[in-house]
Amino acid sequence: MRGVIRIAIGFISALLVMAIRTASATEPVRPSDAYGRVDTIRVEIEPVNDQHWLATVFLNNDENLAAMTLPFRWAPRHGFYRLDSASYVRTRTAKFAVKTFHPDSLKETILIGLISDIGRGLPPLPPGNGPITRLYFTKLKPASKSLVLDTTFISPHNVLQMVTPDVASVYPVFQVKTVSGRENKPQ
């Protein structure tokens, strides 16, 4: 009987730990930075022509960064826009060793992962301000609203986060602006 009780307690404990981890992973992360001012990820969205849109992702940071995850979702939802590609040409991350790009057209999300070095001796991203990636979209349906990007949570544990070379997490402020400069609220 004691064995059955131990197994039941172990099982319940494991479920409780999993529930706590899942709940904490899906809660919004507050911007925080132990290295001075809070860094900022800013997205500027502009139409290229009637069918194509460009979203440039900028980073303003005051410490060296070794890696970052950029999970985004786009709106309006339900097939108004398609994400075509990402480019790192003429960006601050152009020489990073790893630049991953995982779009999900059904969920209308994208997960970008950037790692400065994987053993080749490449330097981390120094403090500064400028573009880190460009996202290209195609308008599929006549939409009454402009393209909007927002940060999101993507399973298993991807939030808007950056990591310093000494493996400290930095959670930046997120901003979205249209080319006219007025704030664009996520859907």
Of the segments 25-39, 93-107, 131-145, which one has the largest average pLDDT value? 93-107
Whole-number Å distance between alpha carbons of 87 and 182: 25
Whole-number Å distance between alpha carbons of 163 and 154: 18
Number of domains in the chain: 1
End-to-end CA distance of the chain: 55
Whether the link from the prior residue into 131 is cis, omega within 30° of 0, is no
Does residue 156 lie in a domain region? yes
Range of the domain at 162: 31-178
Q: What percent of the chain has pLDDT over 90?
A: 44
The more confidently predicted of residues 83 and 77 is 83
> Residue 156 is part of a domain; what is its CATH number?
2.60.40.680
Does residue 11 lie in a domain region? no
Contact yes or no for 110/55 (Cβ under 8 A): no
Write the pLDDT tens digit of every residue in 38-74.
899 999 999 998 889 999 999 999 999 999 999 999 9
- 161-187 average pLDDT score: 75
Does residue 126 lie in a domain region? yes
Contact yes or no for 143/76 (Cβ under 8 A): yes
**Distant-in-sequence, close-in-space partners of 175: CB < 8 Å, separation ≥ 6:** 40, 41, 42, 43, 183
The pLDDT value recorded for residue 28 is 57
DSSP 93-149: TTT-SEEEEEEETTTTEEEEEEES-SSS-PPPBPSEEEEEEEEEEEE-S--SS--EE
Does residue 5 lie in a domain region? no
Please give the mean pLDDT across all residues of the chain. 80
Does residue 104 lie in a domain region? yes
Whole-number Å distance between alpha carbons of 94 and 99: 9
Whole-number Å distance between alpha carbons of 113 and 107: 18
Contact yes or no for 168/63 (Cβ under 8 A): no
Whole-number Å distance between alpha carbons of 41 and 160: 9
